[in-house]
């Protein structure tokens, strides 16, 4: 009986010790986070200028890490107003600027980036499909042809602004209706311009590209990194 009581006491003490360690670790983490904020504030904007990505795209949020791990990601506006007289090739830069501008006012000391990707085939603009039938129409149009993928980028830092775009040519193999329907069934096309993702199963349709691969994924990080150096 005495041994059982001893074991119970030992077990309770061990559990209390583990709980105490968790409380200490939690408070240390809170103090560390607060200290990090204080250090950032004290160092000033000249040495701690941040990159702010105005995008909710998981692909862009992953690609921007190739430039820096210290990036603040926020959702930009969803407005996609396109003037009637605008050239098709200018639309992605225009939309990218709208996204960056919608966020820049809240981060006047930081470099805010907006980006938008479109697909153009036979002079027609392909954005994200609105339905599975819309995706089927897009992919059928791209089948066996070469199309353009244009990603527009806008950088705003206070009063300074720069807008540019990058173009990649992508050639598709001829696609059967069965292939297209099966791909749409994966749901992968539904949130992507042109209804395909080159980094996913959609890459199986690609015969070749001319230009920046990352641009097709959604962000021309090589060119963007060089442009950012002028702002940082």
The whole-angstrom separation of Cα 201 and Cα 80 is: 27
The whole-angstrom separation of Cα 22 and Cα 50 is: 33
Q: Which residues contact 143 (CB under 8 A, 6 or more apart)?
A: 172, 173, 174, 175, 180
CB 144 within 8 A of CB 172: yes
**Is 110 marked active-site?**
no
As separate numbers, helices (DSSP H) first and strands (DSSP E) second, the chain gives: 7, 7
**137-174: string of b/e by CB count within 10 Å (b at 16+)?**
ebbebbbeeebbbbbbbbbbbeeeebbebbbbebebee
Catalytic residue among 36, 84, 110, 116: 116
Angle between helices 177-185 and 132-142 (to 10 degrees): 140
**Residue whose structure tokens are 């353009």:** 148
- Active site residues per annotation: 116
């Amino acid at each position: 009986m005495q041994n059982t009581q001893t074991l119970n006491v030992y077990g309770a003490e061990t559990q209390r010790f583990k709980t105490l360690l968790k409380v200490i670790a939690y408070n240390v983490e809170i103090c560390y986070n607060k200290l990090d904020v204080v250090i950032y504030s004290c160092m000033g904007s000249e040495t701690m200028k941040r990159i702010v990505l105005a995008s909710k795209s998981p692909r862009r949020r992953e690609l921007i890490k190739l430039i820096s791990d210290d990036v603040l990601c926020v959702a930009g506006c969803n407005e996609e107003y396109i003037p009637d007289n605008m050239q098709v090739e200018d639309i992605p830069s225009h939309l990218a600027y709208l996204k960056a501008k919608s966020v820049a006012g809240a981060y006047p000391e930081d470099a805010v980036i907006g980006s938008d990707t479109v697909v153009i085939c036979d002079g027609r603009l392909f954005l994200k499909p609105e339905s599975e039938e819309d995706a089927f129409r897009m992919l059928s149009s791209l089948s066996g042809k070469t199309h353009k993928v244009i990603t527009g980028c806008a950088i705003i830092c206070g009063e300074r602004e720069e807008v540019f775009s990058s173009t990649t040519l992508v050639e598709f193999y001829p696609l059967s209706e069965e292939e297209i329907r099966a791909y749409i069934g994966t749901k992968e096309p539904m949130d992507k311009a042109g209804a395909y993702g080159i980094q996913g199963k959609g890459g199986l349709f690609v015969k070749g590209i001319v230009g920046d691969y990352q641009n097709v994924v959604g962000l021309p990080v090589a060119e963007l990194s060089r442009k950012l150096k002028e702002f940082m």
